[in-house]
Amino acid sequence: MQAVYVLRLARKNLWRHRLRSLLTIAGIAVAIVSFGLLRTVVDSWYAGASLSSAARLITRSEASLSFPLPVTHAARIRRVAGVAAVSWANWFGGVYIDDKHFFAQYAVDADSYLELYPEFVLPPEQRSAFQRDRRGVIAGRKLARKNHWQIGDTIALKGTVYPGNWSFMLRGIYDGADSKVDENQFLLHWDYVNETMRALLPSLADGVGVFVVNIHDPSQAAEVSAAIDSTFRNSLAETRTETQKAFQLGFISMVDTILLAIQTVAYVVVLIIMAVMANTMSMAARERTREYATLKALGFGHGFVSMVILGESMTMSLVGGVLGIALTFPVAQAFFSATRDLFLVFQVEPLTVLLQLGSALLIGLCSAIAPVVNSRRLVIVDGLRAVA
Amino acid sequence: MTEALISIHNLSKTYRRGNQPVPVLLGIDLQIAQGDYVSLMGPSGSGKSTLLNLIAGIDKPSGGTLLIGGVDIAALEEDELAAWRAGNVGFVFQFYNLMPVLDAFENVELPLLLTHLSKAERREHVEMALAMVGLPDRMDHRPNELSGGQQQRVAIARALVTDPTLIVADEPTGDLDRKSADDVLDLLDRLNRELGKTIVMVTHDPRCAARARTRIHLEKGVLLSRGAEH
């Protein structure tokens, strides 16, 4: 019975100073949106790693990623127990038009690479057209759309890692098996690049940036990785093998500090609005001192008065929080569109929504602490004399 | 002689201003009978409001005994005292002290939330109380939609809705024009005469005090005189 009254009082008190309440709610909503957006930015950086297949390993040079491995390693890796299939890829690094039109380009072994990446969905006729044409390439749907490419278009790249002017023919456009698959990749034939290098720059020929290794049992990833690396131990081209996820996280770790800063800012935003909200609640409670004293005089205990204050604080923060959560989705979509292809995926995760809701509850709870403590200390006769 | 509802013996109250003790009430002895209508008068700083607060159980004495209905309220713990107030005391304040966001019905219903009455029973009590103060048609009006006199009558309805033994009124007409003040005083008369409520009222106004059956004068924390009963 009292709980219903508490909620009614809280709701009615909320609208006593409409402008103040609306501004506070707007502030909370903005803070919750910012929190959600910043967290989604961080999540999106890690998305590539989290999407990695558990059954895929990456083998690269023990010395550095910039040192190629001999392509002949492929046959030996294939013989390691637990290995199901092997393919390889090189970073091509060509420039399309200018640096602003950057996209990721990989020279891959056309026959085996697509077998290892079933998430790249390609019509069979386009797949075979790509495999038949050594100058053929395939591109992700988003990349093709962005550059207005059609099947059959000629695409010119200026080589950086592999010097020269390169000309390719678009033979296929793949779609991601789901919305989280990167549709911004550009795959070309490793054979074509390799043969050209053999003729022009033999020192760059027969080298592989990474081997992609599919294994039978993902739970055996550590053992198979160790077995591959031990195969090449004490050779001229020692290897380091790790899961695809660990490989991706290795890249992300280069920007760890930035991600930490973004996460910190997300929490600082919540702390700032908490201080603003606490100030609002303190002002509201101070104005109502005489009302709280009257309630106490009538026989209501500290608990009831505390619940009235807490109810108002929680109502305000929850309204702001829910509004902020609702706004996060369109804002995230707009952010994703504005940043174009900076992120592979940009989805507000359920955990982020939960944290947003938790933050809103925490803001409401913390903001009520000082007014509740003051109301408990309130001496009735002093409160009755208080002037709002 | 009617039995004493309020029995006060050697009651004192001292506040502290910094380290300095400030005595406000000094050795008050007073008996107030059940059903009496008492006015407490005196100049500012005489201690009359302090005495009223002690009788109402919203302040604690520094010394002496204060029995109300045989209960030593000075010995009650805070929660017990709050429960005792809820069941035994109705409050009428100078500035009405209504909840501005609640309508008249909800304001009067407030003290009933501390009882075990059902919603229907609460409605019945609230409607009866508002009818008694002459405001049955103002139930859904908020305080800012009512005149000062009407607000004070809502406050009186709130004070009597739990059927308390004692009603304490602190300058109940202090913020009202003469006509509204007379209406409020008439109402307090009726509560005393028809319902037998014991009323203790603090006032500066001799006209207001004249309505009471017993007039008590305080000065500098000491009981000076007890006026003749009508």
The verdict on A291 touching B (C-beta cutoff 8 Å) is yes
For tokens 């908020």, what's the residue?
B142
Residue A388 confidence (pLDDT): 55
What pLDDT, in 10s, does the model give residues B209-223?
999 999 999 999 998
Helix (H/G/I), strand (E/B), else coil: B132: helix
> Which of A1, A291, A301 faces B82 most closely, judged by CB atoms?
A301
Chain-centroid distance of CA A375 in Å reads 44
The fold for domain B34-60+75-226 equals Rossmann fold (3.40.50)
Cβ–Cβ of B101/A9 closer than 8 Å? yes
Nearest to A123 by CA among A113, A114, A133: A114
The CA distance from A314 to the nearest CA of chain B, in Å, is 18
Residue A209 tokens, joined: 């940036």
Answer yes or no: are the C-beta atoms of A143 and A155 closer than 8 Å. no
Beta bridge partners of A140: A174
Q: A44 or A156, which is more confident?
A: A156
* Residues constituting chain A: 388
Q: Answer yes or no: do B114 and A5 touch at CB < 8 A.
A: no
Per-residue pLDDT band at A51 (split at 50, 70, 90): low
Q: Would you say B162 and B113 are in contact if contact means Cβ atoms under 8 Å apart?
A: no
Cα→Cα distances B170→B66, B132, B195, B205, Å: 19, 21, 20, 12
Task: Please answer yes or no on whether A384 and B97 come within 8 Å at the CB atom.
Answer: yes
pLDDT tops 50 at residue B230: no
DSSP run (H or E) holding B10: strand B4-17
Joined together, the tokens standing for residue A227 give 């077995």
Bridge partners (DSSP) listed for residue B25: B13
Contact call for B97 and A300, based on CB within 8 A: no
Q: Measured between alpha carbons, how far is B192 from B153 in angstroms, rounded to an integer?
A: 15
Chain A positions touching B158 (Cβ under 8 A) are: 298
**B116 CA to chain A: closest CA distance, Å?**
10
Measured CA to CA, the distance from residue B81 to residue A243 in angstroms comes to 70
pLDDT at A48 over 70: no
Please write the tens of the pLDDT for every residue from A188-244.
Answer: 999 999 999 988 888 888 999 999 999 999 889 999 999 999 999 999 899 999 998
User: Phi-psi bin for A294: left (phi > 0), alpha (psi -120 to 50), beta?
Assistant: alpha
Chain B residues with a Cβ under 8 Å from any Cβ in chain A: 53, 56, 58-59, 79, 82-83, 85-87, 91, 93, 97, 99-102, 106, 110-111, 113-114, 158
DSSP 3-state assignment of A214? strand
More confident call, A49 vs B150: B150
Residue B1: pLDDT over 60: no
| Neighbour tally for A236: CB within 10 Å | 7
Contact yes or no for B165/B69 (Cβ under 8 A)? yes
Which sequence spans correspond to the domains of chain B? 34-60+75-226
Number of A/B CB contacts below 8 angstroms equals 56
Q: Do A299 and B83 touch (CB under 8 A)?
A: yes
- The ipTM value here is 0.93
Q: What is this structure's pTM?
A: 0.74
| Smallest Cα distance from A284 to chain B, Å | 13
Kindly report the CA angle at A91 between A86 and A94, in degrees rounded to 5? 145
Q: Cβ separation of B85 and A13 shorter than 8 Å?
A: no
- Check CB contact of A254 with chain B, cutoff 8 Å: no
Burial of A102 (0-12, 13-18, 19+ CB in 10 A): middle
User: In the predicted model, what is the mean pLDDT of chain A?
Assistant: 90
Cβ–Cβ gap B91/A298 under 8 Å: yes
